[in-house]
Amino acid sequence: MNIILLGPPGAGKGTQARRLVEERGMVQLSTGDMLREARTSGTEMGQKVAAVMDAGQLVTDEIVIGLIEEKIREGNAAGYIFDGFPRTLGQADALNELLSRNGAQLEAVIEMRVDDSALVARISGRFTCGSCGEVYHDDTKPTKVAGVCDACGSTDLKRRADDNEESLKTRLMEYYKKTSPLIGYYYARGDLRSVNGLQDVEKVASDIAAALA
Ligand code: AP5
Ligand code: MG
């Protein structure tokens, strides 16, 4: 089963993708995580996209399609969760093409609906584990022991360079201009399922499970 999690910055895509990985053994493909990894490992591409990401703009279709193509070629039985990809109509067309070339198809597109007003609080309180990727929040999901990851015990807890109010404004604008048209595109294809992303994490997860049943 291959699915897309679609929603604005802070909608909870990464949080729900990690649950689906744990519960169903699916593979999370987050283009945001891949790009951040390219930055920390100092690749030429990583250096090229750093300023674009920090400003909250989208990197080019060519770069992210290349990253996804590489992963899909590796294949996997339980299916992929596309998290933060596709983000443009060009990327959506490329994904169709890549899946069909690999004899696979898209099962569902989960739209995570949230209000912009909730996003500032979610983004400004977020931190993640640099070692295992667990996602936390200062108020809604703090670590049990301050400074230590609950999941793996690492003390490498990080905040993202683009998690500030200025970049968030640009990220939201990019979402409405370039990514939200995908809602209509997938609705027309009959693939769209919408869930209320403002509920607590457990309820969102159970609504996603119901949408995939
Ligand atoms: P990316 O990393 O994809 O960031 P994003 O889309 O802005 O989304 P986020 O990761 O910020 O939010 P999320 O929905 O994953 O929320 P999370 O679960 O963490 O992309 C970053 C950048 O990379 C882009 O701006 C662009 O430059 C580039 N890029 C990436 N993909 C690209 C592409 N395809 N094309 C071009 N450029 C690309 O949750 C957020 C917080 O809320 C956490 O603290 C969490 O604990 C909390 N939370 C989650 N769910 C709930 C809930 N139900 N209730 C309360 N709190 C919650
Ligand atoms: Mg994310």
Nearest one of 6, 4, 5, 10 to 115, comparing CA atoms: 10
CA distance 168 to 149: 25
Q: Right CATH number for 2-114+178-212 from 3.40.50.300, 1.10.260.40, 3.40.50.1860, 3.40.50.2300?
A: 3.40.50.300
Binding-site residues, in ranges, read 10-15, 31, 36, 57-59, 84-87, 91, 126, 129, 132, 135-136, 149, 152, 160, 171, 199
Which ligand is located closest to the Cα atom of residue 87?
Answer: 1
2 lines ligand 1 (CB under 6 A): no
Does residue 20 contact residue 81 with C-beta atoms inside 8 Å?
yes
Strand partners, 30: 83
Compute the distance from residue 10 Cα to the ligand 1 centre, in Å: 5
Token pair belonging to 212 = 């995939």
Compute the distance from residue 179 Cα to the ligand 2 centre, in Å: 15
Query: In this predicted structure, what is the pLDDT of residue 75?
Result: 73
Domain residue spans of the chain: 2-114+178-212
Query: In this predicted structure, what is the pLDDT of residue 42?
Result: 87
Mean pLDDT of 24-46: 93
Kindly report, residue by residue over 55-103, the tens digit of the pLDDT.
Answer: 999 999 999 999 999 998 877 778 999 999 999 999 999 999 999 998 8
Does residue 155 contact residue 164 with C-beta atoms inside 8 Å?
no
Kindly report, residue by residue over 3-16, the tens digit of the pLDDT.
Answer: 999 999 999 999 99
Does residue 151 contact residue 132 with C-beta atoms inside 8 Å?
yes
Q: If you search the block for the tokens 């998290």, which residue do you land on?
A: 83
56 lines ligand 1 (CB under 6 A): yes
Q: Is the pTM of this model over 0.85?
A: yes
Residue 181, helix vs strand vs coil: helix
